[in-house]
Structure 1
Amino acid sequence: MVLPMERDRVDCVGALVYDEQHRLLVIRRANEPGRGLWSLPGGRVEPGEDDPAAVVREVAEETGLEVVVGDLVGEVEREGPGNTLYVIRDYEAEAVGGDLTPGDDATEARFVDRAEFRSLPTTTLLVSTLSQWNALPG
């Protein structure tokens, strides 16, 4: 009998940050997975962090913005390299300070409306997932 291989589960978070016009904050990924594609700011939950702390850290590192974390919007699983499974929990977040500047894992960071968002090359299933969650930009 062959047993299924144990997956390397990697807990990650993402942030849904909207401005006053309900445009969505997105970043262009500088590294794999998804280098060059647009996504939500976010990344791995570090040891000893809870999800809200990881959201605050990742948004600051990737966009320069300070956020207050709100409710969980949804969770998805994405295949990673090798035997890796990324488990991504996306949270509402509100920008409360900082200056929008790409950094760390992002080459660009900006707020986009729905038409611009749909025209961007995005990470796998991002548009359909946000559509299912009723979380597309205005």
Structure 2
Amino acid sequence: MTNVDRSSREYPDRPWVGVGVVTWRGDQLLLIRRGKAPRLGQWSLPGGAQSVGETVFETAVREMREETGLTVTPTGIITVVDAITPDEAGRVHYHYTLVEVSAECPDGDPVCADDALEARWVDVEEAGRLVPWDETRRVIALSAAQREQG
């Protein structure tokens, strides 16, 4: 077996903390089409890995700026999701603990950069059709319900 860097995101020796951002503008939320694995090419929420010394909300703001050029205001924690992706042999290829954050973005148009291939504002129903991962659809629905409760 080759010597693998266990601190890498692929075949890690520990989970990576990632922050996903459900960004709202009125009744629409922002989706991106991922430009990197895991879930390459799929519609998802913007987000990425937390850096040392950075709070979850700081990560959300940075990742949104890097991926879409938008400035957001985090408003709360939605939930936490375990994202564990095995390879064909059953070994853990990726392991993320995803802290899902809600945010507001009153203006601005997304400009894709970093690992986002495309971005678009959609309503919850369209998000349900575009997003293939059940957990992301669940997070979006949970965020929408939390917003309704005020």
- The count of residues paired between Structure 1 and Structure 2 equals 131
Given that 1:72 and 1:89 are in contact with CA atoms closer than 8 Å, whether structure 2 keeps it comes out as yes
Structure 1 CA distance, aligned partners of 2:68 and 2:103?
13
Q: Which protein has the bigger helix share?
A: 2
TM-fit CA distance, 1:99: 3.6
Task: Compute the TM-score of the two structures, normalised by the length of structure 1.
Answer: 0.82
- The answer for the alignment partner of 2:22 in structure 1 is 16
SS in 2 for 1:135: helix
Over the aligned positions, Cα root-mean-square deviation in angstroms equals: 2.4
Query: Structure 1 residue 77 and structure 2 residue 82: aligned?
Result: yes
SS in 2 for 1:65: coil
Report sequence identity in percent.
34
Out of 84, 89, 96, which is 1:86 matched to? 96
Query: Structure 1 residue 26 and structure 2 residue 31: aligned?
Result: yes
- Structure 1, unaligned runs of 5 or more: 1-5
Kindly report which structure 2 residues correspond to 1:1-138, keeping only aligned pairs within 5 A, or say none. 8-20=14-26, 22-80=27-85, 82-83=91-92, 84-96=94-106, 98-131=108-141, 133=142, 135=144
SS in 2 for 1:8: coil
Structure 1 CA distance, aligned partners of 2:143 and 2:31?
17
Given that 2:131 and 2:137 are in contact with CA atoms closer than 8 Å, whether structure 1 keeps it comes out as no
Q: Which protein has the bigger strand share?
A: 1
